[in-house]
Amino acid sequence: MYFDPYYWVLIIPTLLFALWAQMRVQSTFKKYSQVGNWRGLTGAGAARMILDANGLQNVAVERISGNLTDHYDPKNHVICLSDSVWGSTSVGAVGVAAHEAGHAVQHAVGYFPIKIRSAVIPVTNIGSRLSVPLILLGAFFQAQPLVTIGILLFATVAVFQLVTLPVEYNASARAMHVLGESGILSGDELKGARRVLSAAALTYVAALLTALAQLLRLVLLFGRRNND
């Protein structure tokens, strides 16, 4: 049986970190989903308030099923808030909603990193689907050009995750700023929202580390085969 040391050294640690990050965001959100905000504002209400304050009346706020499935759809100009955020008056819900509103503002003002992320999405989609099949075909037929193309395509996944980091951190920074400046949250409420968003940010760090580890594994694994 073939033993792949790179899998144990590179992949397992990053997967464990990703699992920990996901558990942390779940537990942190659960904690602050039980803490109400002083204004009694719902997640949907907070998002709407932030959008209107930025002149984004054209952006809708809609409810979707699930837990923490919240996202901004730039194509249809819609903020989609999950069941646990939409009608909740918790500090956690308002923080998440404000974060998604931050993405809408990013698109409206032409935030440069989000433009880059949008531009690389089509390439990343192709890379994520074709990279591994090309690498395997190249290895099977000993066709190094196919392996190289496959690795380069997989690298686009890592690039996407790298560009995603500043986008997500900036959206959270915008959220915290507007929540404090507008008085939507204050004091310990702001601290709670910041903890929720900080925990969520770790999942994007984990996604980047996982992609980089997988890319490095492919380079080391198939580079070693070629040298052999």
Q: Give the catalytic positions in this structure.
A: 100
Amino acid identity for residue 8 in this structure: W
| 203 CA to centre of own chain | 7
Instruction: Report the C-alpha gap between 150 and 224 in whole angstroms.
Output: 16
- What are 116's two structure tokens? 């880059």
Nearest Cα to 62, choosing from 75, 43, 49, 36?
Answer: 43
Biggest alpha carbon–alpha carbon distance for the chain: 67
DSSP assignment of 191-227 equals HHHHHHHHHHHHHHHHHHHHHHHHHHHHHHHHHHHHH
